[in-house]
Amino acid sequence: MPTCNIITNVPGNSVDNSDILKALSRAVASSVGKPEQWVMCSLTTDKPMIYGGVEAPCAYGELISIGAIGGEKNKQISAAIASVLQQKLSVDPSRFYIK
């Protein structure tokens, strides 16, 4: 079961959590190559964070998936998640780190 957890300093009252979670779920499913019915995503907003010495919008993510990540696939997954965060949370891809 691919699991994606995102933590961000973006204020929760300025975003539509459901919309973001649905977009993340679709992005993870398509980039990992697993059916969306098995994807789990979580979003934590309002987390005090600093990235590169600046408190501008940023995000940290973890993706757990048995047998579907690694190598070149990681670039596709990271790009798909970063795109969602940029579109939905205004987090620049250079201010997003995924583990």
Using alpha carbons, select from 82, 70, 72, 65 the residue that is nearest to residue 29. 65
Task: Could you list the beta-strand ranges (E) of 9-95.
Answer: 40-44, 59-64
Catalytic residue among 2, 11, 35, 48: 2
Active site residue 11: no
Residue type, 51: Y
Q: Which are the catalytic amino acids? A: 2
